[in-house]
Amino acid sequence: MTYSIHYTANQRYEHPQKEHFVDRHRSSLIQRISSVAAILDQLLDHKVVSQEQYDTILTKATRQDQVRELYSGALRSSGTRGKDIFLSVLEELEPFLIEDLRGQEEHFVDRHRSSLIQRINLMAAILDQLLCHKVVSQEQYDTILAKATRQDQVRELYRGALRSSGTRGKDIFLSVLEELEPFLIEDLRGQEEHFVDRHRSSLIQRINLMAAILDQLLCHKVVSQEQYDTILAKATRQNQVRELYRGPLRSSGTRGKDIFLSVLEELEPFLIEDLRGQEEHFVNRHRSSLIQRISSVAAILDQLLDQKVVSQEQYDTILAKATRQDQVRELYSGALRSSGTRGKDIFLSVLEELEPFLIEDLKQG
């Protein structure tokens, strides 16, 4: 197993203070800034751009080219002071965009700390790898394994070794998790896609109350007056929603999408309820029935072990339970909880093979 990708990535984080925020996020800012004219007005007032630079920038055909020109000229020559002022103006005029970019700077294993504490299973094997790569010392290794529960072991890992080893340690930890708990990491990555992005196609087709939704988004400053007018000028509701996605929702990031979802929950509650219902996995919707009615637990576990949905330790723990019902409960509370959607997909596929009449009955019901 190699970690060259992560070590290379780590070089970008060694001295983050030397690269300014607006340089680290140059590509995203070029693509996502929407209020270029208003930003330039403020930069002109603060003497970050000259009148000549202001005019040159605004002659560019697209917003993206305008921001590129700002970077290649005024921001390049004005140095840290100019970038500080630019960032301050962005915080005022594009607050959701800046908040979203700041959130992206948090490491994956920090963003998902709570879930990892609850869902990691193979703690001893993970620690073995972290010890080999000197992320944990022998003393830390022993201290962590002395904790009574897996959850407390992961908490201790976060408090100690991951805190002191910084980005390099977190990169290696993530790489180890990708190898040993791949379904968990895949599931967490899937969760990072926002609800309104996952259901973009359905929302484009099914939203009805577009004017009322835009009124609320305007009040919450997710759309500007110019964007509001541009969207409503589109001929169909579908094109209005497409324009909303292409413009304000793209630039406002997670915060803007959160507000959009909140507005939809208020104005289009049945639509959102229907989309949420579609997201619940079949094996979750039918958990109670599956616990009561599955009969071939041992054969199912054999397949889940082969496909690495359950570990050997989990396999033995499940089969040690006295009844089939308790065995399936243990499967749900452990392996299926940690392996996420991918593990549940495999479980369902195994059930379709080994318990076809049960699955057919549940689907028809």
How far apart CA 14 and CA 137 sit, in angstroms, is 21
Q: Token pair for residue 315? A: 């396999």
Distance of alpha carbon 106 from alpha carbon 299, whole angstroms: 42
Whether the full predicted model's pTM is greater than 0.85, yes or no, is no
pLDDT bin (cut points 50, 70, 90) of residue 219 is very high
Q: With a cut of 70, say whether residue 13 has pLDDT above it.
A: no
pLDDT tens readout for residues 222-276: 999 999 999 999 999 999 999 999 989 988 878 889 899 999 999 999 999 888 8
Distance set, CA 246 to CA 80, 197, 275, 351 (Å): 31, 12, 21, 41
Pick the CATH number of 4-104 from 1.10.3720.10, 3.40.50.300, 2.60.120.10, 1.10.533.10: 1.10.533.10
Residue of 192 and 108 predicted with greater confidence: 108
List of residues 6+ apart from 142 with CB closer than 8 A: none
> What number of other Cβ atoms are within 10 A of residue 112's Cβ?
21
**338: closest CA among 120, 174, 175?**
120
> Is domain 108-191 in CATH 2.20.28.120, yes or no?
no
CATH homologous superfamily for the domain 195-279? Death Domain, Fas (1.10.533.10)
Q: Tell me the mean pLDDT in the region 181-209.
A: 86
Q: Sorting pLDDT into bands at 50, 70 and 90, what band is 18?
A: low
- Comparing CA positions, the residue from 262, 266, 270, 259 lying closest to residue 202 is 270
Question: What is the C-alpha to C-alpha distance for residues 87 and 26, in angstroms, rounded to an integer?
Answer: 12
Q: In this predicted model, what pLDDT tens digit does every residue of 116-130 receive, in sequence order? A: 998 898 999 999 999
Beta carbons of 349 and 194 less than 8 angstroms apart: no
- Which architecture, in CATH terms, is 282-364? Orthogonal Bundle (1.10)
CATH 1.10.533.10 residue spans of the chain: 4-104, 108-191, 195-279, 282-364
Q: Give the span between the Cα atoms of 325 and 332, in whole angstroms.
A: 11
